[in-house]
């Protein structure tokens, strides 16, 4: 099973903010949505650009390049030009630290 990786103290990621972390070459963006933490792969499935830094609209991230939208909680596409979902990752808060792991290869 993959290891949990520390992202940041939970208090350092305010609602509506994010942090990115690299796990074995995968860029992962961890978002605070109204006090809940969610993680997605930081790669737009339309053209491979970064999603982090795009506008947040509720629980959706808008790709800053071509405006594809993804649900941060589920990874599902909510607006084209993307049609494939982004990967999501488990997140936990332990002793005040937000942690994520890439469990795709477990």
For 63-88, write each residue's pLDDT tens digit. Answer: 999 999 999 999 999 999 999 999 99
Beta strands at 18-23 and 69-71: parallel, antiparallel or unpaired = unpaired
Whole-structure pTM value = 0.94
- How far, CA to CA in Å, does 50 sit from each of 8, 9, 25, 62? 20, 23, 14, 10
Domains of the chain: 5-100 (2.102.10.10)
Per-residue model confidence as pLDDT tens digits over 45-57: 999 999 999 999 9
d(CA 100, CA 93): 9
């Amino acid at each position: 099973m993959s290891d949990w990786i520390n992202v940041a103290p939970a208090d350092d990621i305010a609602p509506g903010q994010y942090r990115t972390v690299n796990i074995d070459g995968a860029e992962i963006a961890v978002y605070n949505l109204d006090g809940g933490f969610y993680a997605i792969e930081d790669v737009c499935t339309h053209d491979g650009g970064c999603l982090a830094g795009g506008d947040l609209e509720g629980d959706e991230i808008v790709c800053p390049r071509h405006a594809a939208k993804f649900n941060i909680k589920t990874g599902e596409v909510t607006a084209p030009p993307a049609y494939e979902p982004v990967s999501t990752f488990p997140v936990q808060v332990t002793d005040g630290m937000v942690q994520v792991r890439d469990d795709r290869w477990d």
